[in-house]
Structure 1
């Protein structure tokens, strides 16, 4: 007879965020000869969704691997990968004994390539940094996450969505900095309730500045100033090329991009705000955008229906002022569908809006050459 020990989830960060590839179950007081399996038909998975909205189930366990370790027998359930954020359930039989576990029962989560980032805490800023193995000054890309990844665990900003880990795959010779915005002691749902009391949380009401107050959840001016101070120190230490500092962020982080440019306009060579939140603060920041090239992008429609009208209004003002360094692109329904966005059958209009909001997937895959455009810019290029 055996007893179940630790359960480990092996995951990676994919287009839809954190994806689980397998579960490793440690069985104590047994040996591999007692555990004989050839496939995963003895296991049933529930809520193992592989789409953005949580409607389509993955295939389940596709293979089983068994090995003996010093701690006991490890049974690895190899999966048709699915999105890890849902409250899934796994039920099955091992060596005649039933086993059942949920997301809450997982003891350890292993995340592929997380060890590439070093965790830091400096002057109240929690951040992770990828540091290239290169001599001399290197470019730096600052990545700002969205509203769901705020906190103080210094991890969620890498795992909540596709983001900084993807940038390392593309630019292994650059610094990739991923700070975590403060939570303001509020969870995402709690903050959402605060925003609802102020009005429609998805509106772009110009009198509302939901993330601007010092200490409140998100990319407030005080916090992003501390983030830029860290970069300035890296420049003064000879680590970072002062002419090649870039900025990219999505959703709340897209608004954070505009906020950060406003706070430190001299620091950045170019920036990409993806589906940036539009409110009284971010709209004003865009209307009065400093001389930093930006390429704004979003889906043709998402859950903040007035987002594009305010972006276009601000861009029109900038274009009339001769700002040829400002670009604005809306991804079409067909372009989004290439990445599985909006293709699940039976989506309500609200669910479709929520899926479309994931337009950062396209930007981080360099659709229309947007990432190439960003890093093609250098400050003071004539002096380089």
Structure 2
């Protein structure tokens, strides 16, 4: 029994150590601008070649991963891009920025209890400080790396899903495809963001961010003839990002789209 326990503990230790090593593949960086600083992690393709162009995948975390440790933002989704088959078949520059505590990617009003939470998505609000930093970071990445501007993608979960809609609204010609997860926005902006290709995800049992906010965005995008796909997962709560990042067609879909 003791030997079995030792084997299990050893295996778990190796697994944790391996995961830590894998996450370390995301280089720690900090972008600085006059109005502040933004930590971010960046994963460069295997055998990175400075002369070669690469797609950019930007992933925005949720409210629970805010801070300045430059680690928490990797909790959800980062493991997908570390898979050997993904790195071989879909080489890209992958970036996970981190939003400050008590801040957000987009200005959103909310009220009510968790099970009846209501959100107010503004048609055109002033950008948050972290949105301005995020846009500065993107400009910096485009200057530093040979990014294929025809293959720039953005996605995010919860607060990051809302930030995805907001970032595309503010930069409607920048991103060719976007994948907001359990987010939302004001349907009025649909016409402005219609040229981006969308795959929207939500769980139909989500009480933290009710699925109506994704549904109404999908309906609005369909009305303006935008290319939009909607995955509404039955009996799934707020953690629909687990389902979204497990979608076998997510990366093939992203990389099939180019300007």
TM-score by length of 1: 0.55
1:147 & 1:171 partners in 2: Cα distance? 28
Extract unaligned runs of 5+ from structure 1: 1-36, 41-61, 65-76, 85-107, 187-194, 215-219, 334-352, 380-384
1:169-208, CA deviations, whole angstroms, 9 ceiling, x for partnerless residues?
224521110001110389xxxxxxxx98x43355463547
Shift of 1:229: 2.7
| Alignment-derived partner of residue 246 in structure 2 | 365
SS in 2 for 1:294: strand
Shift of 1:312: 2.4
The alpha-carbon distance between structure 1 residues 38 and 319, as it changes in their structure 2 partners (threshold 3 A), is closer
Between 313-322 and 119-128, the greater mean CA deviation after superposition: 313-322
SS in 2 for 1:266: coil
The alpha-carbon distance between structure 1 residues 292 and 213, as it changes in their structure 2 partners (threshold 3 A), is closer
Shift of 1:285: 6.8
SS in 2 for 1:357: coil
| Alignment-derived partner of residue 117 in structure 1 | 26
Q: Residues 207-226 of structure 1: matches in 2 within 5 Å?
A: 207=120, 221-226=128-133
Larger radius of gyration: 1
1:134 & 1:327 partners in 2: Cα distance? 32
Shift of 1:289: 4.6
> Higher strand fraction: Structure 1 or Structure 2?
1
SS in 1 for 2:68: coil
Asked if residue 241 in structure 1 is aligned to residue 148 in structure 2, the reply is yes
| Alignment-derived partner of residue 346 in structure 1 | none
> Which structure's relative contact order is higher, taking Cα pairs within 8 Å and 6+ residues apart?
2
Asked if residue 205 in structure 1 is aligned to residue 205 in structure 2, the reply is no
Q: Which contiguous aligned blocks of 4+ residues in structure 1 show a shift greater than 6 angstroms?
A: none
2:18 & 2:162 partners in 1: Cα distance? 31
1:270 & 1:152 partners in 2: Cα distance? 28
Shift of 1:144: 0.9
Q: Residues 110-189 of structure 1: matches in 2 within 5 Å?
A: 111-123=20-32, 124-132=37-45, 133-135=47-49, 136-158=52-74, 160-161=75-76, 163-169=77-83, 170-171=86-87, 173-184=91-102
Q: What is the aligned residue count?
A: 239
